[in-house]
């Protein structure tokens, strides 16, 4: 389980550096991604 958490943190840091996002911007991006996915799921079902 610990290796999964470490890989997840590494992936998040990589995306954050690649797109030059602050922690605040990353949180908003993830929030809107969740909203979009929820809307798509509700539309399908």
* Per-residue tens of pLDDT for the chain, all 45 residues: 889 999 999 999 999 999 999 999 999 999 999 999 999 999 998
15 membership: H or E segment, kind and range: helix 2-18
pLDDT for 44 equals 92
Decide if 16 contacts 26 (C-beta within 8 A): yes
pLDDT for 1 equals 87
Decide if 12 contacts 26 (C-beta within 8 A): yes
pLDDT for 20 equals 97
CA 24/CA 16 separation, integer angstroms:
11
pLDDT for 18 equals 96
pLDDT for 14 equals 96
């Amino acid at each position: 389980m610990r290796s999964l958490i470490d890989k997840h943190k590494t992936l998040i840091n990589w995306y954050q550096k690649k797109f030059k996002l602050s922690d605040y911007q990353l949180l908003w991006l993830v929030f809107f991604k969740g909203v979009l996915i929820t809307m798509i799921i509700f539309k399908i079902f």
